């Protein structure tokens, strides 16, 4: 009978019924009712049920205005005075909770309801007046550890690192956000090395509202200490998994370090063999002292073509086409071929690289043909190179055999030249951020020796070095002290020398020119060189460049922005004899923008020698 009743009730829903609109159409109007709501303005627009205005210090006014739950009910039509009064009682409790998250646990709050029938915004206004009182500060912070980290002598440094990095030290203001951040940062510091599965066991903040103090305590469970095991590659189909191991260079057998894991992931991702790479430590393994590293990869296509466009003030608009082949037949090397065309340079080149061996050394070979503007002439050049290279975390090195040919085009141009040389290169980068550094230094050195091949065959030696240092200076703060960033002094030096007999015909591509966005600003690209008697400019045998730049964060309306101002002076000279140096100086000002795709640099420079002003634009940082 029960199921029969249910079926009958469901059948009743199929019977025809009257529409609610039909019922309302036939109903008689209630006496005294009007056609429009009391929340309508004269022009028919809807008004809010009420408005909220918060009176108090800037530090709390904006926060309360944004987060008060009372804001959710402003647009409810026909909200009665009785219901609004009830909401105001709850709003006071909500406001006190919000003040507590800011560190004010004994504020003075007043909520007033004001009738505003003539207002175009709302018929009522709620005024919240707040006096925050004294800010609560940390009186004590107790950080405890349990698990293997507790008694292991080798773990003292990890415990000290967590305690030293704890942001809520005694005397610091206590807020809910700061408390959450301190706990999270402490856990990240603990899990970043050795103890990958650490967790928070207990955390407690005891606030004394009368004394405006907070007693903090937290306990971390370390879990077992981990060491790197072997690399296991998931998703590999086309490329050799053992090659991925040699590229990633996971330090098997060493203590777990999150940064080393990220570095290995970055090496795989930048190798060109994979479109996506994600490395994780397998903490579910039975042996923490040899935990496998899992590489989840999505392989890149065997071949692809990349089109590119760009612009620089040195060379104008640029167009490029890259062809990439990740496994050349027979060799299994990776080849990257590129055609690039801009106002000053047109080039076609290819570079082939083998997969690195267990010592991280790889075979490299390349070829390049190019026409470029160099001083007063165009230069048609070619280069063949073969050798070995190695890239570590901070240092790149290589040695190679190189053939160069250069022909200067134009009336009165220097004669053609060719040379065969043996070269060694070494580059060190110690910046805090490879994409947008704020401190650190880089140093590059190149040494080469060889023989000229056109005219009299004579020996020569080539030396080149460049250095960049970024030194943090004083701190620039916002007006309220809530944000701070340091200004910087960027120093740059560059020098080179080609030593040979005067009769030696050395390719101009092995000699030096300077000037442009990244060298001496205020002068055209590669237009500072050796000046001949007829006024033409050619590449010289000696180079010297120096630069100093002060970069300062820009504050607007009391707040730090992503912009920085810069003041700089550059100086450079090129000659066939150091005694003939005629230094060219450029001075100027610039702006730096920390964009999502990298630092953008815009400079206006005045060339003291040419007495002209030039604009220089640049995207990204390279060394």
One domain for residues 287 and 367: no
Tell which of 169, 204, 221 closes a domain: 221
One domain for residues 242 and 320: no
* pLDDT surpasses 90 at 89: no
Label the pairing between strands 137-146 and 213-221: parallel
88: three-class secondary structure by DSSP: helix
Label the pairing between strands 51-55 and 124-131: parallel
Domain for residue 607, yes or no? yes
State mean pLDDT over 495-524. Answer: 95
How far apart are the C-alpha atoms of 12 and 2, rounded to whole Å?
Answer: 16
Residue that is written with structure tokens 């953008």 in the block: 600
Measured between its terminal Cα atoms, the distance across the chain in Å is: 86
Tell which of 175, 194, 221 closes a domain: 221
Q: Please, which pLDDT band fits residue 27 given cuts at 50, 70 and 90?
A: very low
Quick one: pLDDT at residue 124?
A: 85
Question: Each residue of 30-43: pLDDT tens digit?
Answer: 333 333 344 555 55
* pLDDT surpasses 80 at 457: yes
Q: Please, which pLDDT band fits residue 260 given cuts at 50, 70 and 90?
A: very high
One domain for residues 428 and 446: yes
How far apart are the C-alpha atoms of 369 and 438, rounded to whole Å?
Answer: 37
Report yes or no: 241 and 230 within 8 Å, Cβ to Cβ.
no
Q: Please, which pLDDT band fits residue 482 given cuts at 50, 70 and 90?
A: low
Domain for residue 37, yes or no? no
Domain for residue 94, yes or no? yes
Q: Which two tokens stand for residue 110?
A: 């007043």
Residue that is written with structure tokens 């590119």 in the block: 308
* pLDDT surpasses 80 at 479: no
Q: Please, which pLDDT band fits residue 45 given cuts at 50, 70 and 90?
A: low
Task: Please list the helix, strand and coil fractions of the chain in percent, rounded to the nearest 5, in that order.
Answer: 20, 50, 35
How far apart are the C-alpha atoms of 168 and 204, rounded to whole Å?
Answer: 13
Quick one: pLDDT at residue 315?
A: 83
Domain for residue 1, yes or no? no
Question: Each residue of 208-256: pLDDT tens digit?
Answer: 988 999 999 999 999 999 999 999 999 989 999 999 999 999 999 999 9
**How many Cβ atoms are within 10 Å of 469's Cβ, its own excluded?**
16
Q: What is the CATH number of the domain that holds 90?
A: 3.10.20.310
Which one, of 365, 314, 372, lies nearest residue 341 by Cα? 372
Quick one: pLDDT at residue 30?
A: 35
One domain for residues 611 and 490: yes
One domain for residues 434 and 309: no
By mean pLDDT, which of 8-17, 26-35, 126-135, 326-335 is the weakest? 26-35
Percent of residues, the chain, with pLDDT higher than 90: 64
Q: Please, which pLDDT band fits residue 21 given cuts at 50, 70 and 90?
A: very low
| Host domain of residue 245 | 228-299
* pLDDT surpasses 50 at 439: yes
Element (H, E) at 351: strand 345-353
One domain for residues 263 and 371: no
One domain for residues 403 and 442: yes
Question: pLDDT: is 617 or 547 the higher one?
Answer: 547
Question: Each residue of 304-323: pLDDT tens digit?
Answer: 999 999 888 888 899 999 99
Q: Which residues is 303 bridged to in the sheet? A: 325
Quick one: pLDDT at residue 73?
A: 87
Q: Please, which pLDDT band fits residue 446 given cuts at 50, 70 and 90?
A: very high
One domain for residues 596 and 478: yes
State mean pLDDT over 405-412. Answer: 88
State mean pLDDT over 460-482. Answer: 90
Spatial CB neighbours of 81, under 8 Å, sequence gap ≥ 6:
113, 124
One domain for residues 376 and 521: yes
524: three-class secondary structure by DSSP: coil
One domain for residues 550 and 612: yes
Domain for residue 2, yes or no? no
Quick one: pLDDT at residue 410?
A: 82
Residue that is written with structure tokens 């955390």 in the block: 203
φ, ψ for residue 571, nearest 5 deg:
-145, 140
Quick one: pLDDT at residue 368?
A: 97
One domain for residues 259 and 178: no
Tell which of 221, 254, 285 closes a domain: 221
Predicted TM-score (pTM) of this structure: 0.75
Report yes or no: 123 and 39 within 8 Å, Cβ to Cβ.
yes
Q: Which residues is 617 bridged to in the sheet? A: 602
State mean pLDDT over 70-98. Answer: 85
Domain for residue 426, yes or no? yes
Question: Each residue of 267-305: pLDDT tens digit?
Answer: 999 999 999 999 999 998 888 999 999 999 999 999 999
Domain for residue 418, yes or no? yes
Question: Each residue of 94-110: pLDDT tens digit?
Answer: 999 999 899 999 899 89
Quick one: pLDDT at residue 360?
A: 92
Question: Each residue of 162-189: pLDDT tens digit?
Answer: 999 898 999 999 999 899 999 999 999 9
One domain for residues 125 and 156: no
Q: Please, which pLDDT band fits residue 596 given cuts at 50, 70 and 90?
A: confident
Question: pLDDT: is 575 or 557 the higher one?
Answer: 575
Question: pLDDT: is 620 or 10 the higher one?
Answer: 620
Mean pLDDT of the chain: 88
Q: What is the CATH number of the domain that holds 424?
A: 2.40.160.50
Question: Each residue of 134-152: pLDDT tens digit?
Answer: 999 999 999 999 999 988 7
Q: Total structural domains in the chain?
A: 5
* pLDDT surpasses 50 at 539: yes
Which one, of 298, 273, 294, lies nearest residue 285 by Cα? 294
Spatial CB neighbours of 549, under 8 Å, sequence gap ≥ 6:
489, 490, 491, 492, 566, 567, 568, 569
Sign of the alpha-carbon dihedral angle for 322, 327, 328, 329: negative
By mean pLDDT, which of 5-14, 67-76, 562-571 is the weakest? 5-14
Domain for residue 26, yes or no? no
Which one, of 503, 539, 541, 527, lies nearest residue 584 by Cα? 527
How far apart are the C-alpha atoms of 557 and 16, rounded to whole Å?
Answer: 67
Q: Please, which pLDDT band fits residue 18 given cuts at 50, 70 and 90?
A: very low
């Amino acid at each position: 009978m029960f199921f029969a009743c249910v079926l009958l009730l469901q059948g009743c829903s199929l019977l025809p019924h009257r529409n609610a609109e039909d019922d309302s159409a036939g109903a008689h109007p209630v006496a005294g009712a009007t056609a429009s709501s009391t929340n309508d303005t004269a022009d028919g627009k809807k008004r809010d049920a009420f408005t909220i205005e918060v009176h108090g210090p800037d530090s709390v006014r904006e926060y309360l205005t944004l987060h008060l739950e009372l804001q959710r009910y402003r647009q409810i039509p026909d909200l009665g005075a009785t219901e609004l009064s009830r909401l105001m009682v709850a709003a006071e409790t909500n406001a006190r909770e919000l003040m507590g998250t800011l560190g004010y646990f004994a504020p003075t709050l007043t909520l007033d309801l004001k009738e505003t029938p003539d207002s175009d915004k709302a018929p009522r206004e709620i005024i919240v007046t707040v006096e925050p009182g004294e800010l609560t500060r940390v009186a004590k912070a107790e950080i405890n550890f349990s698990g293997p980290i507790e008694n292991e002598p080798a773990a003292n440094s990890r415990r000290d690192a967590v305690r030293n990095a704890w942001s809520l030290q005694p005397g610091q203001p206590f807020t809910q956000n700061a408390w959450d951040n301190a706990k999270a940062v402490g856990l990240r510091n603990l899990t970043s090395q050795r103890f990958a599965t650490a967790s928070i066991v207990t955390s407690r903040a005891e606030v004394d509202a009368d004394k405006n103090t907070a007693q903090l305590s937290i306990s971390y469970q370390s879990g077992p200490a981990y060491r790197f095991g072997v690399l296991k590659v998931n998703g590999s189909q086309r490329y050799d998994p053992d090659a991925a191991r040699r590229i990633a260079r996971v330090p098997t057998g060493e203590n777990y370090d999150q940064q080393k894991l990220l570095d290995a992931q970055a090496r795989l991702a930048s190798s060109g063999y994979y479109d996506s790479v994600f490395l994780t430590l397998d903490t579910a393994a039975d042996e923490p002292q040899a935990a496998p590293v899992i590489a989840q990869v999505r392989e890149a296509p065997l071949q692809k073509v990349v089109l590119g466009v760009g612009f620089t003030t040195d060379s104008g608009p640029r167009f490029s086409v890259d062809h990439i082949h990740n496994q050349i037949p027979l060799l299994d090397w990776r080849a990257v071929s590129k055609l690039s065309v801009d106002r000053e340079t047109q080039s076609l080149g290819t570079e082939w690289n083998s997969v690195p061996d267990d010592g991280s050394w790889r075979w490299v070979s390349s070829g390049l043909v190019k026409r470029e503007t160099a001083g007063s002439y165009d230069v048609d050049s070619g280069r063949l190179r073969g050798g070995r290279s190695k890239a570590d975390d901070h240092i790149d090195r290589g040695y190679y055999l190189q053939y160069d040919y250069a022909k200067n085009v134009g009336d009165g141009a220097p004669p053609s030249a060719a040379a065969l040389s043996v070269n060694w290169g070494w580059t060190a980068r110690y910046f805090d951020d490879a994409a947008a550094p704020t401190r650190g230094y880089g140093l590059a050195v190149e040494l080469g020796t060889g023989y000229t091949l056109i005219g009299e065959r004579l020996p020569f030696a080539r030396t080149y070095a460049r250095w960049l240092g970024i030194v943090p200076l004083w701190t620039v703060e916002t007006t309220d002290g809530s944000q701070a960033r340091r200004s910087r002094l960027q120093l740059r030096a560059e020098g080179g020398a080609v030593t040979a007999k005067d009769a030696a015909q050395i390719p101009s591509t092995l000699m030096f020119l300077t000037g442009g966005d990244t060298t001496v600003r205020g002068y055209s690209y590669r237009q500072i060189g050796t000046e001949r008697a007829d006024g033409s400019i050619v590449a010289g045998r000696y180079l010297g460049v120096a630069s100093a730049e002060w970069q300062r964060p820009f504050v607007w309306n009391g707040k730090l922005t992503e912009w920085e101002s810069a003041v700089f002076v550059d100086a450079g000279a090129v000659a066939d004899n150091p005694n003939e140096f005629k230094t060219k100086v450029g001075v100027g000002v610039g702006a730096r923008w920390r964009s999502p795709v990298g630092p953008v640099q815009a400079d206006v420079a005045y060339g003291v020698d040419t007495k002209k002003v030039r604009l220089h634009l640049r995207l990204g940082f390279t060394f």
